Amino acid sequence: MPPLPNLSPIRLATTSSGSNHRRRGVMSHVWPAAFRTLGLLAVFGWMTLAFAPSVSAQMPSQSQIDEAMQVDLPTDPATLIAMVGQSPILLGELNPKIESRIQSVIENAGQEIPENQIKFARVRMLRGLLAQTIQNRMMRESFLLDQVATETADKRREAEATMQAKARQMFFESEVPELRKQYEADSLADLDDELRKKGTSLAAREREFIDAMLGHLYIRGKVNRDPSVSLAEIHEYYTTHQDEFYRKSRARWEQITVMYSNFPSKQAAYDAIWEMGREAFFGGNMQAIAREKSQEPFASDGGIHDWTNQGALASEILDKEIFTIPTGAMSQIIEDVDAYHIIRVTEREQEGIVPLADVQDDIRKILRDEKIEKAQTEALADVQRRVPVWTIFPEDVPGAKPLPQVAARFPNRQ
């Protein structure tokens, strides 16, 4: 593990809760009773506020709320909350965005929100945003490592400055014009003012853009976005996943219907469907008749029913006829429980294994996506091996070390 760089100008974050608050993640399963006093607006606001990209979106349990309450968060913007390789992350980089979101929810809640709930949201947001920022910095650091390899520190700084200059140019050429248009800003100063109202700034957006771009370049260099898939691989997948390609009998058809309830008598309904059938038979267009006169949910679409599995219909009578009559021909009038129908089955397939030729392209896409995902996973694992991370929440980042303990080994390095 390489030593930390000079930390003397930066305050180190500490927490009064020791290691206890690090045993579990920040997500959980159900809202405690005390939280149900919030109105729906506030509840949904907190759900939006307390995002954590590294975990699933579930409601917090009481134990995890209590755990968050024990965390003594730093307040000084200059506090170091994570170190990614040689790149520090300060509280001031993340806190404005968090506080802006919290303030927005408070203003829109319409009622006073207890301080412990605000504290919980603040802790959870910081952990989620910090984990996301660390991941972006790790990929950025990996990209820079690839560029300089084993060069000296001076060479690294030179390469980093060159890359940042190019990325900064792209930011001002592509991103800034869009931001100015979005916020209707006449100048960069106006744009910065508008961004600060949202809890960020032009400098922060530039930093995020550069991290994201360099991280994208790293992943793009490690992951083939269009890997080849051989016929042998497709055939192997097909033979080992036969259950996925089993298909029940299914059919597509056209239908016209009259409901008994829409006529004074059942005979009147019969006369109406008979007349529709005569028009469709001699005119040759069931779809036009369905749009004009049919009384079933698909009438506006011309009575067209797309692929439907045998046994899926509520009407057993109609289901039986669809999978019995010859395809291409109009049926006789079908008497159902609450309606008369006339149908024409346009296509029908028997149950069985779908032929390989019909699913070959789908399998190729599945295998292609699997290869891309595997390459991305391997690339991220390589990032974790190459880039050391110290953070105040080490349990949120695989392989990370606790920041205070590590930093203590390098006191006042100059």
128 & 152 share domain = yes
Q: What is the domain count for the chain?
A: 3
Angle at 220 between CA 88 and CA 222, to 5 degrees: 85
User: Among 223, 231, 175, which Cα is nearest to 202's?
Assistant: 175
Q: Which of 7-16, 102-111, 326-335 has the lowest mean pLDDT?
A: 7-16
CA distances to 184, 216, 227, 243, 375 from 368, rounded to whole Å, are 42, 20, 6, 20, 11
189 & 260 share domain = no
In a domain, 399, yes or no: yes
Band of pLDDT at residue 404, cut at 50, 70 and 90: low
CA distances to 132, 226, 229, 355, 402 from 358, rounded to whole Å, are 41, 22, 17, 5, 54
228 & 285 share domain = no
Q: How far, in Å, CA of 53 to CA of 234, rounded?
A: 34
Q: How far, in Å, CA of 233 to CA of 188, rounded?
A: 54
In a domain, 216, yes or no: no
267-286: per-residue pLDDT in tens?
999 999 999 999 999 987 89
In a domain, 379, yes or no: yes
49 & 182 share domain = yes
With a CB cutoff of 8 Å and minimum separation 6, the contacts of 96 are 196, 199, 200, 201, 204
Give me 34's structure tokens. 């005390």
46-65: per-residue pLDDT in tens?
433 444 444 444 566 777 77
23 & 170 share domain = yes
In a domain, 201, yes or no: yes
In a domain, 213, yes or no: no
312-347: per-residue pLDDT in tens?
999 999 999 999 999 999 999 999 999 999 999 999
195 & 274 share domain = no
Q: How far, in Å, CA of 402 to CA of 408, rounded?
A: 10
370 vs 285, higher pLDDT: 370
Domain boundary among 302, 322, 350: 350
317 & 237 share domain = no
369: left (phi over 0), alpha (psi -120 to 50) or beta: alpha
110 & 229 share domain = no
Count of C-beta atoms within a 10 Å radius of residue 94: 22
186 & 305 share domain = no
197 & 324 share domain = no
* Per-residue b or e along 220-231, where b marks 16 or more CB atoms closer than 10 Å to that residue's CB: eebbeeeeebee
Give me 250's structure tokens. 């299914």
201 & 80 share domain = yes
Q: What is the three-class DSSP state of 49? A: helix
Q: How far is CA 236 from the centre of its chain?
A: 31
In a domain, 2, yes or no: no
What is the DSSP track for 174-229?
IIHHHHHHHHT-SSHHHHHHHHHHTT--HHHHHHHHHHHHHHHHHHHHH--SS---
- The residue segments making up the domain with residue 38 are 11-207+389-408
Q: What is the model's pTM?
A: 0.55
Stated length of the chain: 414
Angle at 185 between CA 184 and CA 189, to 5 degrees: 165
The CATH number of whichever domain residue 340 belongs to comes to: 3.10.50.40
Q: How far, in Å, CA of 159 to CA of 369, rounded?
A: 34
Query: Number of C-alpha atoms within 13 angstroms, CB side, residue 85?
Result: 20
User: Among 126, 59, 124, 120, which Cα is nearest to 92's?
Assistant: 126
In a domain, 1, yes or no: no
134 & 283 share domain = no
Backbone angles phi, psi at 38, to 5 degrees: -70, 145
Q: How far, in Å, CA of 185 to CA of 203, rounded?
A: 16
133-191: per-residue pLDDT in tens?
998 889 888 887 877 765 666 777 777 788 778 888 888 998 899 999 998 999 999 99
In a domain, 341, yes or no: yes
